[in-house]
């Protein structure tokens, strides 16, 4: 996996795919600002951001009417990318106050979901929240500087990552990364992974900014995750399962369902690969992978998106989040060089934010894609 040093990390140049297709800077900026406004302050049928009190806010999972570490960390990433410090701090205050464990086996982890008033529904964490919290906090430190706790952003990020890596060895609980494979787990206690949790572009930055003693670990984790995605994405369709074993094979059915197929969680894999390529360009396989998944979906109408086996067989079960799937297919255009890349970017541009009950997940993925495709999902 040779380093080309052509990614934005090295050059400082972020592709604006909308501009490349002829949209003006004014059009692009207006769409970005309008989408931010709609999601954070818009109509109740679109908005996902909600103030709680004088210094806290939360992102509501509108389909389940709860607050998730996923959504809170996503909201913080959106806010730091948009240079919105007040919204960032309000989300962080909620997360820090209500969701982050102060003691016990989950100390410094975040309960994965709670009620809008902050009451925890489950105590256990979901590692995708921790990695997004840490990255958003590091970016906040770079953009705005550190303040007194809890706004000492970079140290807060290091505290989270320290727990993620070292709990098992200290006997304080279970780490979030498997010690042997350096792969992120589905939950700390699990013996399998979730391909959509793999963010090697974050780990390369953690290797610079986390505790000095962990820099080598994060470099190894980044390499391991890039290699892992080779094994878990189908070589023909490009589809990945929602859960997969550490050897890349689809995970066995779980008590809460069968997640061996391509469905909601797995949509994020294409987006993550696209952003990793945009930032680092370390793995040329990613170009072919994004071409594959776009070719698979090219002739399927968004309204006809389904659950699929990773071999591409459709179930008679509609996608719960078709707009989110379109958004991630479009974000794959950051890496793809095939004829479908332009199609998905244009189709995404012409698609509005989702409204209604299930809008939360779709619109989080939508906004990340909008940031990325406009060259505004940046390293700070």
Mean pLDDT of the chain: 97
The answer to whether residues 310 and 262 touch, using CB atoms and an 8 Å cutoff, is: yes
Query: Which residue blocks in 44-172 are alpha helix, DSSP H?
Result: 69-81, 85-94, 127-144, 153-170
State yes or no: is 265 an active-site residue: yes
Average pLDDT over residues 314-318: 97
**Which residue out of 70, 131, 242, 276 is catalytically annotated?**
70
Position 379 scores a pLDDT of: 98
Task: Work out the average pLDDT over 194-216.
Answer: 98
Stated pTM of the model: 0.97
**Average pLDDT score over residue span 24-30:** 98
Confidence label for 253 from pLDDT (cuts 50, 70 and 90): confident
List CB contacts of 300: < 8 A, sequence separation 6 or more. Answer: none
Which residues are within 8 A (CB) of 213 and not within 5 positions of it... i.e. 6 or more apart?
none
What is the mean pLDDT of the segment spanning 104-110? 97
Q: Is 20 a catalytic residue?
A: no
Work out the average pLDDT over 254-264: 90
Q: What confidence tier does 4 reach under pLDDT thresholds 50, 70, 90? A: low
Residue 249's SS3 state is coil
**pLDDT value at residue 257:** 81
Q: What is the pLDDT of residues 328-354, one digit of tens each?
A: 999 999 999 999 999 999 999 999 999
Question: Looking at residues 158-169, what average pLDDT do you find?
Answer: 96
Q: Tell how far CA 358 is from the center of its chain.
A: 18
pLDDT of residue 1: 37
* Residue-level pLDDT at 2: 42
pLDDT digits (tens, 9 = 90+) for 271-313: 999 999 999 999 999 999 999 999 999 999 999 999 999 999 9
∠ CA 142-143-144, rounded to 5° = 100
* Percent of the chain topping pLDDT 70: 99
45-57 mean pLDDT: 97
Judged against a pLDDT cut of 90, whether residue 220 lies above it is answered with: yes
Nearest Cα to 260, choosing from 247, 242, 248, 272? 242
Residue of 144, 204, 196 lying closest to 324 (CA atoms): 196
Q: pLDDT-based confidence at 256, cuts 50/70/90?
A: confident
Contact 342/32 with Cβ under 8 angstroms? no
User: How far is 2 from 280, CA to CA, in rounded Å?
Assistant: 11
The predicted model gives 172-191 an average pLDDT of: 97
Over residues 246-269, mean pLDDT: 93
Alpha carbon distance, N-terminus to C-terminus of the chain = 24
pLDDT recorded at residue 144: 98
Total count of residues recorded for the chain? 380
As a whole number, mean pLDDT of residues 63-76 equals 98
Cα–Cα distance list, 200 to 33, 248, 275 (Å)? 28, 16, 10
Span 5-28, average pLDDT: 96
In the predicted structure, residue 138 carries a pLDDT above the cut 90: yes
Q: Which of 66, 131, 265, 283 is catalytic?
A: 265
Strand 314-318 relative to strand 306-308: parallel, antiparallel, unpaired?
antiparallel
Average pLDDT over residues 74-81: 99
Count of C-beta atoms within a 10 Å radius of residue 311: 11
Percent of the chain clearing pLDDT 90 (strictly above)? 96
Contact yes or no for 68/61 (Cβ under 8 A): yes
């Amino acid at each position: 996996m040779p380093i080309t040093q052509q990614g934005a990390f090295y050059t400082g140049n972020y592709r604006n795919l909308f501009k490349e297709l002829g949209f003006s800077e004014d059009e692009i900026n207006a769409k970005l600002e309008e989408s931010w406004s709609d999601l954070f302050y818009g109509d109740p049928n679109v908005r996902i951001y909600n103030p709680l009190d004088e210094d806290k806010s939360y992102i509501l999972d509108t389909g389940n009417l709860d607050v998730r570490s996923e959504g809170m960390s996503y909201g913080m990433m959106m806010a730091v990318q948009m240079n919105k410090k007040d919204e960032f701090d309000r989300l962080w205050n909620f997360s820090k106050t209500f969701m982050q464990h102060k003691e016990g086996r989950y100390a410094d982890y975040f309960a994965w979901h709670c009620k809008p008033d902050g009451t925890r529904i489950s105590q256990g964490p979901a590692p995708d929240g921790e990695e997004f919290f840490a990255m958003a906090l590091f970016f906040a430190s770079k953009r705005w500087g550190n303040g007194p706790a809890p706004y000492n952003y970079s140290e807060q990020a290091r505290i989270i990552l320290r727990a993620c890596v070292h709990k098992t060895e200290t006997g304080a609980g279970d780490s979030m990364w498997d010690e042997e494979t350096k792969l992120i787990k589905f939950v700390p206690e699990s013996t399998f992974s979730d391909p959509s949790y793999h963010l090697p572009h974050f780990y390369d930055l953690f290797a610079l900014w986390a505790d000095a003693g962990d820099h080598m670990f994060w470099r190894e984790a980044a390499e391991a995750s890039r290699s892992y995605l080779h094994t878990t994405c189908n070589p023909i369709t490009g589809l990945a399962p929602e859960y997969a074993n550490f050897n890349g094979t689809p995970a066995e059915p779980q008590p809460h369902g069968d997640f061996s197929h391509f469905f909601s969680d797995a949509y994020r894999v294409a987006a993550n690969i696209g952003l990793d390529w945009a930032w680092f360009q370390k793995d040329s396989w990613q170009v072919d992978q994004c071409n594959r998944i776009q070719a698979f979906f090219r002739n399927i109408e968004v309204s006809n998106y389904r659950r699929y086996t990773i071999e591409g067989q459709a179930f008679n079960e509609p996608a719960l989040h078709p707009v989110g799937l379109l958004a991630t297919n479009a974000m794959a255009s950051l890496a793809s060089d095939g004829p479908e890349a332009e199609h998905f970017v244009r189709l995404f541009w012409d698609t509005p934010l989702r409204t209604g009950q299930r809008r939360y997940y779709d619109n989080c993925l939508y906004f990340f894609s909008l940031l990325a495709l406009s060259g505004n999902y940046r390293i700070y």
